[in-house]
A and B are shown apart, each in its own frame.
Chain A
Amino acid sequence: MLHRRKGAIPYLLLLPGMAWLVLFFVVPMWYLGKMSLSSGLFPVFSFDWAWGNFSDAVSSYQTQFIRSGEYAAIATAIALVVSYPLAYWIAFRGGRWKSLFLLLVISPFFVTYLIRTLAWETILSDNGLVVHTLQHLHILGPNGRLLATSAAVIAGIVYNFLPFMVLPLYVSLEQIDSRLIEAAEDLYASRPRAFMRVTLPLSLPGVFAGVLLTFIPAAGDFINAQLLGTPRQYMIGNVIQSEFLAVRDYPTAAALSFVLMAAILFLVLLFARILGTERLTVAA
């Protein structure tokens, strides 16, 4: 039942958090916006409604934009497939150890990104067990490798964002009354159908949240491509990184950022529309 009375309550609830966002995000974004419409060479830039920055950005880096979208989408899909059963298991079989398992899921973050990526580099090394096994099974060619490929980059993204998929899924699944599922199984006389008809739809808010929390940051990721990929895997995040820090072409970096942000938001809205936003963001 949605509270329709206007009242001050929603605004009061929003106030502290939104004030924070406005102050520390919107204001800097305003400056960034002005920079995106400027031109010049470091350190002198002049604001001159340089809309050309945006069209240049899109045309010069089309490949990287598309590639980022692809990698992020594939990684999100894989993460979803890997995470859903795990979240399900924790929610329904975890018992009183649920919070422990959740902690275990995020524990890789305690070891900094660099160290755990180095560990992956050791595991996936050309001379390691994994690669040799895959070569044996003819999944990889005789000179095949896992590192410095798109597979490695996507795998890195998946691993990095796994907790962001597991936790929202868990949160949504755990809420489902197991008796509901039992009843559905009785009704449909088959577990897969009960799952499809009852569990899955009820867990959609969690799926939506997990997909968002994975896809959105993954699209702007740069570090996985940098460490695990070759120039052919570089994503738009790498471009922005180098334009900003190395070339110091701030207008281009700013324009690229806005294009990226707009593209992601567009895709998110599309996705929400397909799933049906009302169900996902507003209480029944």
Chain B
Amino acid sequence: MRWIRRNLLTGYAILALVYLFLPISVVVAFSFNNPKGRFNYTWQGFTLKNWLNPFGYPGLQDALKVSIEIAILSSLFATILGTLIALALVRYRFRGSGTTNMLIFVPMTTPEVVMGASLLTLFVNWRVPQGFGTILIAHILFNISFVVVTVRARLVGFDRHLEEAAMDLGANEWQTFMKVTLPIIFPGILAGGLLAFALSIDDFVITYFNAGATVTFPLFVWGAARVATPPQINVIGTSIFVIAVAIMLTQILVSNFRNKRVSTA
């Protein structure tokens, strides 16, 4: 009985992951497709040539580079800014906390086309040339709220007694924060950062308005889709995923290795 119950959850989790990856597996499969035409809709035959020449379309490489750079930078900044806000909101009672709360929610409610266009109006008015910088500003903007909400979920359940204990033992505020608080809320910060990264790398509408002449990966794909869906796009998507997983795996294995060494020393 226990066995079933215990594995029920695991079985369910596997199903959920399968559901999550169902379309991804189709995407990966179609990256090996060999269409004669320019659309990648029907399976025509297996080929490795897309993988051998993933950047066959000029512009695709640059678009990808821009997207990754912006995703990393904007999630970094948004995570920092958002975590600070979350700390303030959860731990302190101050005047304006209600308004601040509202101000965090409202950007999430704004339709993308409106947010993108009104931000552009601002940039044009202030004569800010549109390009990489404005895309970055926009991405940080919409990411902040998501980070705040995520980190806050973690902070709310945080047991302050741990901090008090640390301070009793002689640590000052900064040390306590770095050695006690931060590690414990880190999963929340990581989750917020991952969400921000995902939002940024897939954003289309807001980016479109504020990109000037810069092209990001989603912009390229949407634009190309009018005349083609090259399998190289599937290749790139798959590759990003594989590389990210590989990096994560390496990091986990390395830290495991280090932990083992410490414990056997």
Interface residues of A (CB under 8 A from B): 1-4, 6, 9-11, 13-14, 16-18, 20-22, 24-29, 31-32, 82-83, 85-86, 88-90, 93, 96-100, 102-120, 122-123, 159, 162-164, 167-168, 170-172, 174-176, 191, 202, 205-206, 208-210, 212-213, 216-217, 219-220, 222, 237, 240-241, 244-245, 253-254, 257, 260-261, 264-265, 268, 279-284
Contacts and interface: CB of A to CB of B under 8 A. Distances in A.
A120 B23 contact: yes
A111 B137 contact: no
Contacts of A171: 150-151, 153-154, 187-188, 191
B180 interface: no
B65 interface: no
B202 A112 contact: yes
Indicate the member of B114, B122, B217, B233 with the most A CB atoms within 10 Å. Answer: B114
B153 A24 contact: no
Given A25-B103, A253-B113, A282-B90, 15 more contacts: A17-B148, A31-B122, A96-B255, A102-B190, A103-B248, A108-B24, A109-B199, A110-B237, A111-B241, A171-B187, A205-B153, A222-B111, A261-B109, A281-B90, A281-B152
B114 A254 contact: yes
A13 B249 contact: no
Contact of B81 (A17, A254, A283): A17
A155 B244 CA distance: 27
B248 A240 contact: no
A167 B150 contact: yes
A27 to B, nearest CB: 6
A261 B150 contact: no
A282 B94 CA distance: 12
A257 B218 contact: no
A168 B156 contact: no
B244 A24 contact: no
Nearest to B138: A24
Contacts, number: 304
Contacts of B47: none
A51 B155 CA distance: 42
A219 B109 contact: yes
Interface residues of B, number: 104
26 contacts: A3-B92, A10-B94, A17-B82, A18-B85, A21-B103, A86-B17, A99-B190, A102-B194, A103-B244, A109-B198, A109-B199, A109-B202, A112-B204, A112-B233, A113-B202, A118-B229, A162-B20, A163-B195, A168-B150, A171-B187, A172-B154, A205-B157, A212-B108, A212-B149, A281-B89, A283-B155
B100 interface: yes
Contact of A17 (B5, B84, B108, B150): B84
A209 B111 contact: no
A3 B91 contact: yes
Nearest to B153: A209
Contact of A106 (B21, B117, B198): B198
B241 to A, nearest CB: 5
Contacts of A118: 41, 229
A115 B234 CA distance: 8
